[in-house]
Structure 1
Amino acid sequence: MTRDVRTVVICGATGYIGQYLARAYRDRGIDVRSVGRGAVNDATWSDRDRLTRVLDGADMVINLAGRSVSCRYTKSTADVIFSSRVETTAALGQALSRVDRAPEVWFNASTGTIYRDARDRPMTERDGDVGTGFSVEVARAWERELFDAPTGIRKIALRMAIVLGAGGGAVNPLIDLARLGLGGRMGDGTQMFSWIHVADVLRSIDHLYEREDIAGPVNLATPFAVDNATMMSEVRHHLGRSRGVATPAWLLHAGAAVIRTEPELVLKSRWVDPEVLRRSDFEFEYPRLGPALEQIARHTSRGLLPVALG
């Protein structure tokens, strides 16, 4: 990032990605302000005036707020998943419309799950097919709230693939399965696995901040998606055992009910292509899965890792 950034506001800074971004920006000497539900934040969603003051004068705002989707989609959890994304984005838009000096750009989390189950071709921002189902409806409402917000700030919806990195996030359950000897393919193993290293999430945001000509949805994923069988083989090689028992789809459905999560999180084929990033000459630090997992392995302890279950 070459343009001077003095202040960044991160909404949802307590999650894995939020914590990573906050540390990185503070290491650069940037003032990081946080917005969330607890008093530890600089502003809470319920304090309208304080939220406006925290946003005023910031260079950019990054909204990552939202309840984890690693849970069973009951009526109560589905309502929270939906409201924790849509209502916070709406509150942010209202607050940004009231500031005296608005941020240059508003990054709002979205998800690569907005696209259909894709096994025939990758989904780009330009020609990707939007899918159906609860997760897709959440994503569509989330982005609609962003782009309909009453502010002229440049807006970017970060359609993130599965984010990998040491110390948490989506990789820990995969590592635990491999270390338990259960790291074989899931289902038929042909479903595509689009991913991005957390370091490249940060670098993507830096890049997009500089590119004032880019707005709208942007896919955050490497150009090199792999299928599930290949992904689990790489995880076993770098972080687990040499062999792993495959998990058929019926067992995933049964197991998902036990650990209170949804089987679509591993069975849906997510094939996301970062066309906007590619065409704007963005360079990934970790474009390939193998080196990304090597880096994660160097910073990951032995034994089973903590996993938050829904």
Structure 2
Amino acid sequence: MRVLVSGASGMIGRALRRELESRGHEVIALSRSRPSSEDTVRWDPERGSVDLSRLEGHRAVVHLAGESIMGRWTRGKKARILESRVRGTRFLAESLGRLREPPRIMVSASASGYYGDRGDEVLTEESGPGAGFLARVCQEWERAAEPARRAGIRVVHPRFGIVLSREGGALAAMLPAFRLGLGGRVGSGRQWWSWVHIEDVAGAILHLIESEASEGPVNLCSPEPARSGEFVRTLARVLGRPALLPLPAFAARAALGEMADELLLASARMEPGKLRQARYGFRHPELEGALRDLLER
């Protein structure tokens, strides 16, 4: 099958391309920066520009593009985070709805930030949204795909947990300090981190494309979340380093501002209920095995 992927050059997009092509599928990138070619469709969501004829003929569309949430959250940064997701998703959903032969499915990304800081509460796909900036972003992000739903396209929103990869994201950011023996718990260490190996992200997205019954929000995370203290201890053990230097909450806030509260100190104990219902078999369900797979290759 032919799959159109926005954000194909990002960490998740690269892993998804490898997964799809290894299964014999054709990947077409939807790109704002690269010129149009046989394997690339040029678009500009800010200007509302795309060649609709180039969107025809895809069985599935996976929309991953959006401003990175990493970096200090200034007013301008927060505006870009929100607008890039909402505007791009709405424009793509509207464009797909105008096609003569729309794709069967649109996988439109979301994130665990939907739930906000929820302590020890077990979060299923039926759990309501939380409070805070990321919760608002995720709600508007998911609503922006409504034009595709109205056009009869099956829409799935994978709510990504903390994606573990050597190529970027939280793990790659943590590694330099931990390899020097300078890592430690963040805040109290009691907050839940719902994590997922990058190979399970790619595998689960393909599984959702092929599972006709899967629709709406899907918690894309390991079935075994970890408290942040357990996470850093496990990471240190895998690296053979101590984890004795904690990062107090006040220090995290001083360094990162609002982002610290919503990414490092927030607690989201997600349960991948819909993935289990869809009979997805996790390749890396437990934390130490996932970290060893990534770091001991």
Q: After the TM superposition, which of the residue ranges 51-60 and 79-88 deviates more from structure 2?
A: 51-60
- Residue 132 of structure 1 aligns to a residue whose secondary structure is coil
Instruction: Give the SS at the match of 2:269.
Output: coil
Note the C-alpha offset of 1:261: 5.3
Q: Secondary structure at the match of 1:224?
A: coil
* 1:48/1:253 CA distance change after superposition, 3 Å: closer
- Residue 207 of structure 2 corresponds to 207
Determine the structure 1 residue equivalent to 2:282: 284
Distance 1:87 1:240, change over 3 A: farther
> Once the 2 structures are TM-superposed, how far is the Cα of residue 48 of structure 1 from its aligned partner?
5.7
Match of 2:146 in 1: 147
Letter in 1 for 2:288: G
- Describe how 1:86-105 pairs up with structure 2 within 5 A: 86-105=86-105
- Residue 38 of structure 1: SS of its match in structure 2? coil
**Aligned alpha-carbon RMSD (Å):** 1.9
The answer to whether the 8 Å contact 1:35/1:45 transfers is no
SS of corresponding position for 1:42: strand
Q: CA deviation at 1:135?
A: 0.8
Q: Which of 7, 26, 30 is the aligned partner of 2:25?
A: 30
- For the Cα contact (< 8 Å) 1:9–1:35, is it kept in 2? yes
Residues 274-305 of structure 1: CA deviation (Å, up to 9, x unaligned): 11112222210011001000011124xxxxxx
> Counterparts in 2 of 1:1-310, with a 5 A limit?
6-40=1-35, 41-46=40-45, 50-126=50-126, 128-149=127-148, 150-239=150-239, 241-256=241-256, 262-299=260-297
SS in 2 for 1:170: helix
Between the aligned partners of 1:83 and 1:106, the Cα distance in structure 2 is: 19
Bigger drift between 224-233 and 51-60 goes to 51-60
Conserved in 1, the CA contact under 8 Å of 2:165 and 2:172? no
- In the TM superposition, what is the alpha-carbon distance from 1:263 to its structure 2 partner? 4.2
Match of 1:306?
Answer: none
Secondary structure at the aligned position of 1:33 is classed as strand
TM-score, normalised relative to structure 2: 0.92
Residues 243 and 217 of structure 1: CA distance in aligned 2, closer, same or farther (over 3 Å): closer
Aligned pair in 2 of structure 1 residues 262, 116: CA closer, same or farther (>3 Å)? closer
> Which ranges in structure 2 are unaligned for 5 or more consecutive residues?
none
Contact persistence 1:174–1:232 (CA under 8 A)? no
The secondary structure found in structure 1 opposite 2:102 is coil
- Residue type of the partner of 1:100? R
Structure 1: which 5+ runs fail to align?
1-5, 300-310
- State the identity %: 34
TM-score, normalising length: structure 1:
0.88
- 1:308 matched to which residue of 2? none
Aligned length: 291
Secondary structure of the structure 2 residue equivalent to 1:39: coil
Residues 37, 98 of structure 1: alpha-carbon distance in 2 compared, 3 angstrom cutoff: same
Superposed displacement of residue 198, structure 1? 1.1
Shift, 1:157, TM fit = 0.7
Rounded Cα–Cα distance in structure 2 between residues aligned with 1:83 and 1:243 = 38
Report SS of the residue matched to 1:219.
strand
Structure 1 position 23, deviation (Å): 2.5
Deviation at 1:148, TM superposition (A): 4.4
What amino acid maps onto 2:91 in structure 1? Answer: A
Give the conservation status (yes or no) of the 8 Å contact 2:116–2:134. Answer: no
Larger displacement relative to structure 2 (108-117 or 47-56):
47-56
Partner AA of 1:228 in structure 2:
S
Secondary structure of 1:188's counterpart equals: coil
CA distance in 2, matches of 1:51, 1:228: 45
